[in-house]
């Protein structure tokens, strides 16, 4: 049975409506709908996370697995404990403390933030430094808590969303969470769909990539473009090689909401069926409609399959006082709203101003490489010489580059689709984990050797996206190392054209970056 409620801001002629007007819903009902919709939408999209294709999922083919933890929800549970402990004093330093204390590992931007925080780099620099995933979805999916706790005060919702996102994101990655927090905050108090999305868009600067993308999506909707055609245009125009890119996925989310006519399951399926970060888009659409419809407006057959007990990662379960059930999550969210909302300052919080790098940022991952061009020297003979002497020949020292960035720029050496051969020595100091995760990526085809032994040969020609679990533009693999080990690294890059980036990095099985392995010559 599908329960239907009227959503404000959706023209009545676009859908059938029954039951109570949205404005009659109380805050508990909306919060309950938000968290239930979040869980349902995420579970529906989970099997298709990261797919490059369109899944064509139907109501009949949905497979709900609720035993898989999802960072769309569980990190927000940690923020609930932070709000309980610190209240409105939950500032950038407090967020850093929560990460250091409770989040031991993660992927992509989470991994970068953890590395930066471990080295004393605090937000907002932690979200910018060496972050290839600064525009990822990792913060956008954490917006609901701020919208709910600060319902009626969008300035506060946006302020705490900014603090949250700035730990592990920058620029559009922060604007994404601000957009969703503002739109959802408006939805909590008005029950309106389209005006809420437009309110969220109004909080963005016109010159950011997210704003330009959302403007194009809204224009397609105003022009009356049919849903399927609009989805195809959006996917073709804003497709991104990083499947977690928040701009691409927010375009999918807004498409699903704008053309979904306020219907829960069709809207969630629309988001999931555009592919890419499908669990996050499904979860965000589900949460947004849960706010508008309330729990009682969600499909009864899906609610019957929803466990009240949350499936959480072990590190989240260990956090003292973290909610273990949906019921506890709703109760705690509402309690914090009732406690903190009256304490908010009368003066609105300031708008987000992205961090501007000034050159004072630290270099955490210094490495040195000898860059050789086979057209100018015999690289086979050079490799033999390096392995024998263990040092760079004096005649080639002017070809050594030093970089303090995770991805190093080789554009000055890339010309006429040439081949580049890079050499360095891998040095192990201390006892590394066993095994070590190795990630080698570049914007062009690459081949990697350690002491003459080939490690990987990858030629997908995807842009470099360094990660330990999904290394687009290269490969991630395991290798065993021991303390004191030193090996010659040879990295061949083919058909080089600017701009050109490459990366070789090392991590533990939990995707944490290692300090024990350095690259020196």
Nearest-angstrom CA–CA distance, 198 and 285: 16
**Do 118 and 150 touch, CB atoms closer than 8 A?**
no
Element (H, E) at 317: helix 314-317
DSSP 416: T
Nearest-angstrom CA–CA distance, 31 and 151: 10
| Burial of 207 per CB tally in 10 Å (0-12, 13-18, 19+) | exposed
Contacts of 422 (CB under 8 A, 6+ apart): 369, 370, 371, 372, 410, 489, 490, 491, 492, 493, 502
Contacts of 197 (CB under 8 A, 6+ apart): 183, 218, 254, 257, 258
Nearest-angstrom CA–CA distance, 155 and 158: 5
**Do 290 and 31 touch, CB atoms closer than 8 A?**
no
**Do 169 and 127 touch, CB atoms closer than 8 A?**
yes
What is the four-CA torsion angle of 180, 197, 189, 138, rounded to 10 degrees? -10
The Cα-based distances of 225 to 58, 164, 250, 265 in angstroms read 22, 36, 18, 21
DSSP 350: P
Strand 474-479 relative to strand 517-520, pairing:
unpaired
User: What values do phi and psi take at 514, rounded to 5?
Assistant: -100, 145
Q: Which segments are annotated as binding site?
A: 277, 279
What is the four-CA torsion angle of 89, 92, 95, 96, rounded to 10 degrees? -140
Nearest-angstrom CA–CA distance, 181 and 145: 8
3-state secondary structure (DSSP) of residue 419: strand
Cis peptide before 96 (omega within 30 of 0): no
The Cα-based distances of 407 to 18, 364, 427, 459 in angstroms read 55, 12, 19, 18
Nearest-angstrom CA–CA distance, 175 and 274: 22
**Do 33 and 16 touch, CB atoms closer than 8 A?**
no
DSSP 149: H
Q: Which segments are annotated as binding site for Mg(2+)?
A: 277, 279
Beta partners for residue 425, in sequence order: 488, 520
């Amino acid at each position: 049975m599908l329960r239907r409620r009227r959503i404000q801001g959706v023209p009545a002629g676009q859908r059938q409506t029954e039951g109570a007007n949205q404005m009659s819903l109380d805050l508990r009902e909306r919060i309950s709908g938000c968290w239930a919709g979040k869980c349902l939408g995420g579970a529906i999209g989970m099997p298709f996370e990261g797919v490059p294709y369109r899944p064509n999922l139907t109501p009949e083919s949905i497979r709900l697995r609720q035993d898989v933890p999802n960072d769309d929800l569980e990190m927000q549970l940690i923020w609930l404990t932070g709000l309980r402990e610190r209240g409105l004093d939950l500032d950038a330093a407090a967020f850093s403390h929560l990460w250091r204390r409770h989040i031991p590992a993660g992927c992509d931007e989470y991994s970068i933030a953890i590395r930066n925080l471990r080295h004393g780099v605090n937000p907002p620099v932690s979200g910018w430094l060496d972050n290839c995933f600064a525009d990822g979805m990792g913060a956008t999916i954490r917006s609901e808590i701020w919208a709910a706790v600060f319902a009626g005060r969008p300035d506060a919702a946006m302020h705490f969303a900014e603090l949250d996102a700035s730990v592990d994101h920058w620029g559009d990655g922060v604007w994404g969470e601000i957009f969703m927090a503002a739109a959802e905050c408006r939805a909590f108090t008005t029950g309106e769909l389209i005006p809420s999305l437009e309110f969220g868009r109004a909080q963005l600067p016109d010159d950011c990539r997210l704003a330009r993308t959302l403007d194009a999506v809204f224009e397609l909707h105003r022009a009356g473009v049919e849903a399927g055609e609009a989805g195809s245009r959006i996917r073709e125009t804003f497709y991104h090689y990083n499947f977690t890119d928040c701009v691409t996925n927010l375009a999918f989310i807004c498409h699903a909401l704008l053309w979904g006519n306020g219907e829960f399951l069709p809207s969630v399926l629309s988001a999931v069926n555009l592919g890419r970060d499908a669990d996050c888009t499904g979860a965000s659409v589900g949460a947004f409609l849960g706010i508008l419809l309330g729990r009682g407006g969600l499909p009864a057959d899906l609610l019957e399959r929803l466990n009240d007990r949350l499936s959480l990662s072990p590190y989240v379960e260990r956090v003292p006082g973290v909610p273990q059930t949906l019921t506890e999550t709703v109760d705690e969210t509402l309690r914090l709203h009732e406690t903190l909302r009256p304490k908010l300052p009368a003066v609105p919080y300031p708008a987000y101003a992205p961090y501007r790098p000034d050159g004072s940022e630290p270099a955490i991952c210094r490495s040195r490489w000898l860059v050789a061009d086979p057209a100018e020297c015999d690289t086979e003979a050079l490799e033999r010489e390096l392995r024998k002497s263990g040092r760079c020949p004096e005649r080639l020292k002017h070809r050594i580059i030093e970089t303090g960035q995770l991805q190093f720029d080789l554009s000055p050496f890339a010309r006429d689709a040439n081949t580049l051969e890079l050499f360095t020595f891998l040095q192990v100091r201390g006892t590394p984990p066993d095994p070590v995760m190795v990630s080698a990526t570049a914007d062009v085809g690459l081949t990697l050797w350690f002491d003459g032994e080939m490690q990987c040969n990858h030629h997908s020609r995807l842009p470099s996206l360094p990660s330990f679990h999904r290394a687009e533009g290269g490969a991630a693999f395991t290798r065993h190392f021991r303390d004191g080990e030193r090996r010659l690294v040879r990295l061949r890059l083919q058909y080089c054209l600017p701009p050109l980036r490459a990366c070789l990095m090392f991590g533990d099985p939990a995707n944490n970056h290692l300090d024990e392995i350095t690259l020196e010559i």
